[in-house]
């Protein structure tokens, strides 16, 4: 097992850009010093989750003028808050050399990253994820965005951070629902592992099976190893395909149907991770019906998902779900594009006619 801190480096070949991903469990009070080490200009604006600010604001040590507190929840990732933050940045007179810092989960990271990508046509951006989901997935790779009434992340940009600073101490205060939400993305990586083409010699599925009790008890060393594995897999994909031209589409496994669930329930009832897991189950059922996988692999995936004890999500009207899925960014025609399993830990994009789908 790796000793903390774990230092990873992601290189974006298209932009000839590289940035560090640092995983550690130092005291949270050290984060401000780490931010200062990655600045170009004198000023920075911290976009911080309301919950994180309540729990750690005093330890983090920022002045009131340096922070914008964002309420929690997917519904906060909207145009109204985008404008509030950009107005605040202008009031602070942030320049192109200054920095936006995101401290929170995926909502904070996506919104703050979109602000950074557009403010002054792009300023520096640092990601500090505080949820398991953000640590293993959304903080790395440069996807930013906001939601609209038409769907999730339909307005956004690919914009890489200056650095990703992951501190596993934040994970110890997650409630069970948010902690488990991260496993939706972890399971996704286990089931697309071979398609990621990272050639690192590990088996994420076996790692999960061997360490499930330690993972569920929030063992910080095991979590750091788990985060390192998932981030390495994502980095391998993003390095080859930054802007989702081909390979990177596999990272949307489970998201086509998952995003539709979130939209159908107005982003209020289920977490992103719970929705992705349901999307993975839907993808396996669809792949099995189309003869892309055998029943043994379907049972294998079902058993893996059951180990995490996700609550059941009810079925929704098919016509509603199709309507939501038709707004999916992967679609390039009247057909729906699903990422489907075709072999053990292998997935591929498959176009499906809407009339082929069943509830």
Could you give the residue numbers annotated as active site?
121, 143, 185, 234, 244, 248, 252, 255, 259, 272
CA distance 304 to 27: 34
Q: Token pair of 170, please?
A: 């934040």
Residue 67: φ, ψ to 5°: -125, 150
Cβ-in-10-Å burial (0-12, 13-18, 19+) of 100 comes to buried
The CA distances from residue 237 to 50, 240, 242, in Å, are 32, 5, 8
Cβ-in-10-Å burial (0-12, 13-18, 19+) of 126 comes to buried
Biggest distance spanned by C-alpha atoms of the chain: 59
| Of 333, 301, 138, 155, residue with least CA distance to 230 | 138
CA distance 105 to 74: 10
The DSSP string of 222-289 is HHHHHHHHHHHHHHHHHHH-TT-SSGGGGGGTTHHHHHHHHHHTTTTSS-HHHHHHHHHHHHHHHHHH
Which element (helix H / strand E) includes 153?
strand 151-158
Residues 253, 278 contacting (CB under 8 angstroms): no
């Amino acid at each position: 097992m790796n000793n903390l801190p774990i230092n990873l480096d992601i290189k974006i070949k298209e932009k000839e850009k590289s940035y560090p991903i640092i995983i550690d469990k130092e005291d949270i009070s050290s984060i401000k010093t780490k931010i200062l080490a990655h600045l170009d200009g004198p000023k920075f604006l911290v976009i911080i989750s309301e919950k994180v600010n309540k729990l750690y604001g005093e330890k983090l040590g920022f002045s009131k003028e340096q922070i914008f507190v964002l309420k929690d929840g997917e519904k906060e990732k909207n145009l109204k808050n985008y404008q509030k933050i950009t107005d605040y940045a202008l009031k602070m007179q942030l320049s192109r050399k200054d920095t936006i810092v995101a401290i929170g989960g995926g909502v904070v990271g996506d919104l703050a990253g979109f602000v950074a990508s557009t403010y002054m046509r792009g300023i520096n951006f640092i990601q500090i994820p505080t949820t398991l989901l953000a640590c293993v997935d959304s903080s790395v790779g440069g996807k930013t965005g906001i939601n609209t009434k038409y769907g999730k992340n339909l307005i956004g940009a690919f914009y890489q951070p200056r650095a990703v600073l992951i501190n596993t101490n934040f994970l110890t205060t997650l409630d069970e629902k948010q902690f488990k939400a991260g496993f939706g993305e972890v399971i996704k990586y286990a089931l697309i592992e071979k398609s990621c083409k990272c050639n690192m010699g590990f088996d994420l599925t076996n790692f999960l099976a061997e360490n499930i009790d330690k993972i569920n008890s929030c063992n910080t060393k095991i979590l750091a190893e788990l985060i390192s594995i998932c981030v390495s897999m994502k980095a391998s994909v993003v390095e080859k395909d930054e802007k989702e031209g081909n390979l990177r589409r596999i990272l949307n496994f489970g998201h086509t149907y998952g995003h539709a669930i979130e939209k159908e329930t107005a982003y209020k009832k289920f977490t992103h991770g719970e929705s992705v897991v349901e999307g993975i189950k839907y993808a396996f059922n669809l792949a099995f019906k189309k003869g892309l996988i055998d029943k043994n692999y379907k049972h294998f995936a079902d058993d893996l998902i059951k180990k995490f004890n996700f609550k059941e999500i009810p079925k929704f009207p098919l016509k509603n779900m199709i309507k939501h899925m038709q707004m999916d960014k992967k679609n390039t025609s009247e057909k729906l594009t699903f990422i489907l399993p075709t072999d053990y830990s292998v997935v591929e994009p498959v176009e499906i006619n809407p009339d082929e789908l069943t509830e």
